[in-house]
Amino acid sequence: MAPKQKGNVDIVAVAKAAKVSPSTVSRTFNHPNLVSPATRKKITRAVQKLGYVRNRAAQMMHGKRSGTIGLVVPTINHAIFAEVIQAFSDAIDRAGFTLLLASHGYDLEREYEMVRKLMEHRVDGVALIGLEHSQATSRLIAQQETPAMAIWNYAEESELPCVGADNRLAGRMAAEHLVALGHRDIGLIFPDTRGNDRARHRLEAVLETLEAAGVAVPEGRKSEAPYSVSQAKQAALALLSAPSRPSALLCGNDVIAQGALYAAQRCGLQVPEQLSVIGIGDFKGSAEIEPGLTTVRIPAGTIGTLAGEQFTAFITADEPAPFRICCEPEHIVRGTTALAGSKTN
């Protein structure tokens, strides 16, 4: 069966094989109720026999949707976005869409290029991570009238529809936890915040909260590390091997916290007795690491799923209503934080 066609098995080849007109074949796919069961069967058989696969690009030329959604993320590489990509992908797949994925490596210029590239493919919508984007990107989106949304951040006043969490709140929660435990000497490890509003919001909130609590963070206690276990470990090692070390480490996210934890182990420091560590994110594995990582959970799976569902609904709706969904961060206390001075050095 399924004889090797010379190549171009199109709708008219099917029509010919089924001895009907191309129109009827098209209708069999798009409005099956308009074609008699008998003809439908003939056509289905011909489709089977010839191994016909619909050409969505050709459909698209008739104002039909392309059935694709573009997603542009900073990076695919880390646990951070893997979960949200997976959930988003699954959700749009359920709605019959396919994912076009691109990454820009935390470079807003490249983000623009990627969005543009996706638009050349006439995606039905484009989802971006975060709310901070280059002006060119915003202009492009507005101009092309392509539905767009932001994932990961929530802001009441956001221009774009969004599904995400309030990263300021997350930062505040982490800081408050440490303060409540009596920590006064806190080390901070955050990634570069340029072009990364998630990290920036968290850091700002942390700093504000600490200041409000009367906790000063001298420059020597601030460290920068990209989202990588390896570099985070290095940064933490530097912080911890200084003559006086902080009693707690507040990390920009769980990947960094993981690195910090390994650094502590390497230094032979007891966590949480000698050093408290808190992350933000609650990624896969954060619960299992020993001791279990205290963190502020940003529900990536939920965000991805919700984003996918809302966005596809938005795209297919007759009169789309913008949406803004806030997923509450949740404070997860596990084993890496304890009262300050429970066993000071």
Partner DNA sequence: AATAGTATTGCAAACGTTTTCATCGATCTT
Partner DNA sequence: AAGATCGATGAAAACGTTTGCAATACTATT
- Which residues form the interface with DNA (CB under 7 A)? 8, 10-12, 19-27, 29-31, 34-39, 52, 54-55, 58-59, 61-64
19 vs 45, which CB is nearer to DNA? 19
State which H helix or E strand residue 188 sits in.
strand 186-190
d(CA 126, CA 22): 33
Which contacts qualify for 314-321: CB closer than 8 Å, 24 or more apart? 314/125, 314/147, 314/149, 314/161, 315/65, 315/69, 315/124, 315/125, 315/147, 316/65, 316/95, 320/147
Residues 201/171, Cβ–Cβ less than 8 Å? yes
| Ordered alpha helix ranges (H), 274-333 | 300-316
Q: Does 318 bind a second copy (CB under 8 A)?
A: no
What token pair was written down for 337?
A: 């934080």
What pairs with residue 297 in β-bridges?
281, 330
- Whole-number minimum distance, CB 326 to DNA, in Å? 37
Q: Which residue has the tokens 């020597």?
A: 220
Candidates 31-39, 46-54, 124-132, 305-313; binding stretch for a second copy (CB under 8 A): 46-54
Closest CA to 75 of 180, 152, 168: 152
16, 44, 65, 102: residue in contact with a second copy (rule CB under 8 A): 102
Please tell me whether residue 75 adopts helix, strand or coil conformation. Answer: coil
> Can residue 68 be called a binding residue for a second copy (CB under 8 A)?
yes
Q: Which is nearer to a second copy, 230 or 241 (CB)?
A: 230
Q: How far apart are CA 287 and CA 294, in angstroms?
A: 8
Q: Which of 34, 58, 212, 216 binds a second copy (CB under 8 A)?
A: 58
Q: Which is nearer to DNA, 52 or 311 (CB)?
A: 52
Given a second copy, DNA, none, residue 99, with its beta carbon under 5 to 8 Å by kind, binds a second copy
Q: For residues 103 and 302, which CB has a smaller minimum distance to a second copy in the complex?
A: 103
119's contact among a second copy, DNA, none, with CB below 5 to 8 A by partner kind, is: a second copy
Question: Which positions from 127 through 186 interact with a second copy, judged by CB under 8 A?
Answer: 139-140, 142-145
295 contact partners, CB below 8 Å, separation of at least 6: 174, 254, 257, 278, 279, 280, 281, 282, 286, 332, 334
**Distance between CA 280 and CA 344 in Å, rounded?**
25
- The residue (of 34 and 76) whose beta carbon lies closer to DNA is 34
**Cα–Cα distance for residue pair 91/98, rounded to 1 Å:** 10
Among 211, 224, 273, 290, binds a second copy (CB under 8 A): 290
Which of the choices a second copy, DNA, none does residue 241 contact, using the CB cut-off of 5 to 8 A by kind?
none
CA 334 to chain centre: 25
Residue 23 near which of a second copy, DNA, none (CB within 5-8 Å, type-dependent): DNA
Subset of residues 227 to 266 that bind a second copy, contact rule: CB under 8 A: 228-230, 233, 258-259, 262, 265-266
Q: Whole-angstrom Cα distance, residue 210 to residue 276?
A: 16
Helix (H) or strand (E) holding 294, with range, is strand 294-297
The token pair at 241 is 């091997």
Q: From DNA, a second copy, none, which one binds at residue 230 (CB under 5 to 8 Å depending on kind)?
A: a second copy
Is 51 a binding residue for a second copy by CB under 8 A? The answer is: yes
Q: Does 60 bind a second copy (CB under 8 A)?
A: yes
| CB of residue 5 to DNA, shortest distance in Å | 11
State which residue, 34 or 180, has the beta carbon closest to DNA: 34
- Per-residue exposure over 307-322, b if at least 16 CB sit within 10 Å of its own CB, e if not: bbbbbbebbeeeeeee
Residues engaged in binding a second copy (CB under 8 A):
2, 4-5, 7, 51, 53-58, 60-61, 66-68, 75-79, 82-83, 85-86, 89-90, 93, 98-103, 116-122, 139-140, 142-145, 228-230, 233, 258-259, 262, 265-266, 284-285, 287-290
